[in-house]
Amino acid sequence: MISEFEIIRRYFTRRARTALLGVGDDCALIRPRAGTTLAVSTDMLLPGRHFFPDADPEKLGHKALAVNLSDLAAMGADPRWALLAIALPRANEKWIAAFAKGLFRLARRSGTELIGGDTTRGPLAISITAIGEVPPKLALRRDAARAGDDIWLSGATGEAALALAHLKGRVKLRGRARDACLHRLHAPEPRVSLGRSLRGIARSAIDVSDGLLADLGHIAKASGVAAELRWEALPRAEAIASCPDKALAKECLLAGGDDYELVFTAPRSVRSGIAAAGKKAGVSVTAIGTVVAGGPRVRLRDAEGRTVSTPRAGFDHFA
Ligand code: ADP
Ligand code: MG
């Protein structure tokens, strides 16, 4: 039976390139580049709550890091380092190797270095801490939206939640729509390059992990403003647009979660800059509404200005 230290050595140790000291000592040593501050975030993934117990380990390795990089992206930070705390019920080397493969592929692609962690036997649990760099004044905070800002969304929401509905038997997806949705659920792409391009242009940002309305609601609350969304302006992926169950499609679009898109606000004066940032990052960006003065809330209106009913917002991991 492979030991804890052998697992770390074999699967989670790569030579440090940017850290002063990586895996192997009591602590890693890192130094942010001049003029930057560290942006730090942790996310935990548990089977049954965040992924299926029999999930493909390679995709899981990708997703575990991706959801953390998404938080860095939402801050406008450049990913630099990560720590991995993992509990494994048994030392299944095939599983660990595939998990490490998925994790390190995204790590390399995003410029993230694994510099430490913790490995123990126990019920499967994965926690990654991601560390990035951002010039402190340019960090995209939740509390900086202002009345008059446009509200923007990268990509489109709803496909991951639709995939989940498919897997739970609530809807039957087929062909390309099914593949696209399952890919969004199992291998989300963190919008790192967009987040970076938005610094100095966007005013506030958050990543959509718990549903568009819920996460935009966090910006509204932190900034003390209201958000008005235009129902017709919301981008719809093919699978959402063609879903026969309209109520389900609407729920996924607005409150699905697991999207890992960025929702952000910016003054009207920088519209062309936002479009250029999207182009540079290779991701679509759509103006979906406006920030207005008023109590913290998110409202959805149709083209005639009527309020559109919204599903109960947000995924509560504690429910
Ligand atoms: P300690 O006893 O000080 O907690 P450990 O024996 O747990 O140290 O870990 C030894 C080294 O391996 C440390 O540098 C730690 O950061 C690293 N490490 C442990 N588990 C992992 C992992 N899953 N991924 C990356 N590094 C790890
Ligand atoms: Mg330890």
Instruction: Tell me if residue 14 falls in helix, strand or coil.
Output: coil
Supply the residue whose CA is at minimum distance from atom 7 of ligand 1.
118
Query: Distance from the CA of 49 to the center of ligand 1, in angstroms?
Result: 26
H or E element, residue 41 = strand 37-45
**Ligand 1 nearest-atom number relative to CA 24:** 14
Ligand with minimal distance to 8 CA: 1
Quote the DSSP letter at residue 314.
-
Q: What is the pLDDT of residues 221-268, one digit of tens each?
A: 999 999 999 999 999 999 999 999 999 999 999 999 899 999 999 999
Residue 1 pLDDT level (bands cut at 50, 70, 90): confident
The answer to whether 102 and 136 are in contact (CB under 8 A) is: no
pLDDT tens-place string over residues 92-132? 999 999 999 999 999 999 999 999 999 999 999 999 999 99
Contact between residue 198 and residue 260 where contact means Cβ atoms under 8 Å apart: no
Q: Which of 14, 23, 27 to mutate to test the pocket of ligand 1 (most atoms within 8 A of CB)?
A: 23
Half-sphere exposure of 165 (CA within 13 A, CB side): 27
pLDDT for position 314? 55
Q: What is the pLDDT of residue 91?
A: 87
* 78-93 tens-digit pLDDT: 999 999 999 999 989 9
Stretch 65-87: mean pLDDT: 98
pTM here? 0.95
Ligand nearest to the CA of 85: 1
Per-residue pLDDT, averaged over 39-54, amounts to: 93
Per-residue model confidence (pLDDT) at position 83 = 98
DSSP state of 20: S
What tokens appear for 138 in the block? 């340019």
**Ligand 1, pocket residues at CB < 6 Å:** 8, 12, 23-26, 84, 86, 114, 116-119
Q: How many CA atoms lie within 13 A of 293 on its CB side?
A: 0
Judge whether 238 and 250 are in contact, CB under 8 Å: no
Q: What is the pLDDT of residue 16?
A: 86
Mean of per-residue pLDDT scores for the chain: 95
pLDDT, tens digit (0-9, with 9 covering 90-100), for 187-221: 999 999 999 999 999 999 999 999 999 999 999 99
How far is the centre of ligand 1, averaged over its atoms, from the C-alpha of 88 (Å)? 14
**Percent of the chain's residues with pLDDT above 70:** 97
H/E run at residue 127: strand 125-134
Question: Which pLDDT score, from 0 to 100, does residue 57 have?
Answer: 97
Cα–Cα distance between 162 and 182 in angstroms, integer? 9
User: Rounded to the nearest whole angstrom, what is the distance from the C-alpha of residue 11 to the centroid of ligand 1?
Assistant: 12
Q: Which ligand is nearest to the CA of 126?
A: 1
Which helix (H) or strand (E) element contains residue 183?
helix 175-186
Paired with 301 in beta bridges are 230, 307
Lookup result for tokens 């801050």:
75
pLDDT for 39 beyond 60 = yes
Cα–Cα dist 87/114, whole Å: 17
What pLDDT, in 10s, does the model give residues 274-316? Answer: 999 999 999 999 999 999 999 899 999 999 999 999 887 555 6
Radius of gyration of the chain measured on its C-alpha atoms: 20
The answer to whether residue 318 scores a pLDDT higher than 80 is: no
Cα separation, 161 vs 170, in Å, equals 11
Residues near ion ligand 2 (Cβ under 5 Å): 118
Say what the pLDDT of residue 310 is: 87
